[in-house]
Structure 1
Amino acid sequence: MHVFKVALMMMAISVDRLATAYDCGKDAPQNVCEVSHGDLAIYVRADKIPVRLDKNLSFPAGGKNCVEYGPHTRRCCPLATIPAGSWISSDRYKQAKCHKAL
């Protein structure tokens, strides 16, 4: 019975994670967030791993479902376009054929 309860709990956690991911389609499954600073836009992963700009400077990642920057910042990229704790420029975003959420 204990194994059954643990299995149900794990399934509930998985469903929660799936339910908050936004639809990106099969070609671009990585959830990313657009971070705008005036005319400059960069793209970060939609997770909780802080983004390091350099040795001394970091800022929060997009958070689950882009909660840190708002739902209007949701974007999609091919898998592994943005490494954990990193970011990409708008040029790299276009080259990778990233797009807005479906």
Structure 2
Amino acid sequence: MGEAKNITAGYDFGDGVPIKVRYIFRGTPYGKEELAAVKEAFKGGTLTMGPQVEAFEKEFAKYVGCKHAFAVSNCTSAMHVVTQMLDLGPGDEVITTPNTF
């Protein structure tokens, strides 16, 4: 593993409570199994919505104990999906987090 790199990010949401978050990057946490899975996805020609994603969704749904799971690439995409599923209309108020990943 490589040398640890520390990054501190500061956030101020205007409520008088500054938040500091420390991120530590120390090499890669991925091993041979993950590398093999990535290679398999590249060979299959599907990086999105392919059989690996379907398998992940089924396994994740089973793991968390629900009928369905829908994989997305980030929190912003997840929030878009959720707002569409809620059937929001003009004038509906949505309160959400100001910071997503």
Shorter-chain TM-score category? under 0.3
Instruction: Give me the TM-score of the superposition, normalised by structure 1.
Output: 0.21
| Larger RCO (CA under 8 A, 6+ residues apart) | 1
Which one has the largest radius of gyration? Answer: 2
The TM-score normalised by the length of structure 2 is: 0.21
Would you tell me which structure has more strand in proportion to its own residues? 1
